[in-house]
Amino acid sequence: MMDIREEIEKRTRETEAIIRARLPEADGYQRTVIEAMNYSMLAGGKRLRPILMLETYRMFGGRSEVIEPFMAAIEMIHTYSLVHDDLPAMDNDEFRRGKKTTHVVYGEAMGILAGDALLNYAYETALCAFDLEPENSGIPKALQILARKAGIYGMVGGQAVDIGPEGGCDMTREKLKLMYRLKTGALLESAMLIGAVLAGATKREQKIIEETAEAVGLAFQIQDDILDKTGIAEVTGKPVGSDEKNHKVTYVTLEGAERAQEEVERISREAVTHMESLVVRNEFLTELLCYLISRER
């Protein structure tokens, strides 16, 4: 029987090495912003998105290094969003993953610049895929997916709904789900879909993967809401009760923790059903998706 924790640790180490190899050297007059970028990138984390990307790529038969620039790029985009999310104008958090947040260490202005730099460097990194496998016709589409799902029709759009007049006290269950699908689900969709595209998956297979990732993203964010309400800071690595402190309406606020947990389990079963409809298999990937519903951090 697979030891999922051991397998996750193994793949996290593999992914960590790939990401570290593509970080910029901190030198020159812009050294401080690069140090802030690298501090943010190396502050820990599950590396969930690049792992999902790599395992989806492998599931569809991908074997080359062309996936690696995209793995690093999506983690840079995810990290930049966290750096900006922690800023005083947003969630104003001083700790993440048990460490001081980037703006606390380097100052608010440098925190903003570090996030901007990570976003730009992500695309610079992803474009290196052309040097590795110029004949791969999936690279342009993968770049398009990465850009769209990180922008106003994806993660940024979800964040805007979260903090803007579109959200707030008039938040409904349907609007909250849409926000989660964009804010959290879009990057998960991007990760798995890019893996499928670069490996040459069919359009039908790509659609199934996107639907799977959408379900996983929703379940993942609802679980995040539960952990913010019921988790332990020493375990989660970030302050508990941040949502309440910032007067955020969450799934737990609307439905209660018990109903929210039931929804996580239902959506996760839906994701596994999507995966099982594929001819190709990746046992670890399926186990990982199941594991996410019971995580404690």
Quick check: 229 pLDDT over 90? no
- What is the tens place of the pLDDT at every residue in 117-130? 999 999 999 999 99
Q: Bigger pLDDT: 229 or 49?
A: 49
What share of the chain has pLDDT > 70, as a percent? 91
CB within 8 Å of 176: residues ≥ 6 apart:
249, 250, 251, 254
Q: Quick one: average pLDDT of 102-115? A: 98
Global pTM reads: 0.91
For 211, the token pair is 């639907």
Quick check: 107 pLDDT over 90? yes
Quick check: 55 pLDDT over 50? yes
| CATH architecture of residue range(s) 4-294 | Orthogonal Bundle (1.10)
Q: Cβ(275)–Cβ(285) under 8 Å?
A: yes
For 7, the token pair is 């397998």
Confidence bin at 218 (pLDDT 50/70/90): very high
Confidence bin at 106 (pLDDT 50/70/90): very high
Q: Where are the alpha helices (DSSP H) in the chain?
A: 4-20, 31-41, 48-59, 67-85, 102-106, 108-126, 129-132, 139-150, 155-163, 173-180, 186-198, 203-230, 233-236, 242-245, 251-255, 257-276, 283-291
- Tell me the chain's radius of gyration from C-alpha atoms: 18
Confidence bin at 164 (pLDDT 50/70/90): confident
Please report the pLDDT score of residue 272 as a whole number.
Answer: 87
What single string gives the DSSP state of each residue in 1-62? ---HHHHHHHHHHHHHHHHHTTSPP--STTHHHHHHHHHHHTS----HHHHHHHHHHHHTT-
- Closest residue by Cα to residue 229 from 207, 192, 255, 204: 255
Q: Quick one: average pLDDT of 44-64? A: 95
Confidence bin at 235 (pLDDT 50/70/90): very low
